[in-house]
Amino acid sequence: MTARDRILAAIRSALPRSRPSPAAIAAEAAALLAAPDLARPKLAGETLVEAFERKATALGTTLDRVPAMAAVPRAVRRYLEGQGLPLALALQRTSALTGLDWSGFDTHGDLAPDETAALGLALWGIAESGSLVVHSGADTPILLSFLPLHHLVLLREATLLPYLEDYADRLASSDSPRNAILITGPSGTTDIEGSYVRGAHGPGFLHVILIAAGGE
């Protein structure tokens, strides 16, 4: 008998002689979900905005808050100038962004492989982990989330969700996108000699601009 045979035989002997019915398995799963708050971690803040902010900044994300969409260009200017960058960025081609006043900026829709900065919209934010959710689409190129060194993301406070499974529920009840990205902090790795390296697999800097609820 080979080692594989011995392992499989041990597994078989440990299995119950009679297996529960599909209905019994479904009932057991439903019972586990009956009181989700018993298993969910407590959020890091009293409000969704506070919880998201604490989690996101702990991971290296920087944040700015604005009262309305009209204030976004000023927030972008603050960030770029604070980083010593020119007022130039790739812009997601959606009317919510292209319709803003970008006077004094060099904006473009095409992404370069060495793009310095880009600005896009997040579909949702997840307070539990400080994550952003981006779905690919006709006006949402997937590379916008991967190519720029500085990834600037707009997030409406009204679209914050408490937990990851709240996003899963919305995904299950809608048409699935071709690509769904969950972004949790800037890209980084410590694989190389234990030294932290930014931008290993994507943007080295993540900056979130939170738009107040009702500030369309």
**Domain residue limits at 185:** 43-211
> What is the DSSP code (8-state) at residue 123?
S
Residue 101 has pLDDT above 70, yes or no: yes
In angstroms, the CA 11 to CA 30 distance is 27
pTM assigned to the model: 0.83
Confirm whether 153 is domain-assigned: yes
Confirm whether 183 is domain-assigned: yes
Report the CATH number that the domain containing residue 85 is assigned in CATH. Answer: 3.40.50.10420
Share of the chain above pLDDT 90, in %: 71
140: which strand partners?
137
What pLDDT does 215 receive?
65
Domain count, the chain: 1
Residue 36 has pLDDT above 90, yes or no: no
What pLDDT does 216 receive?
67
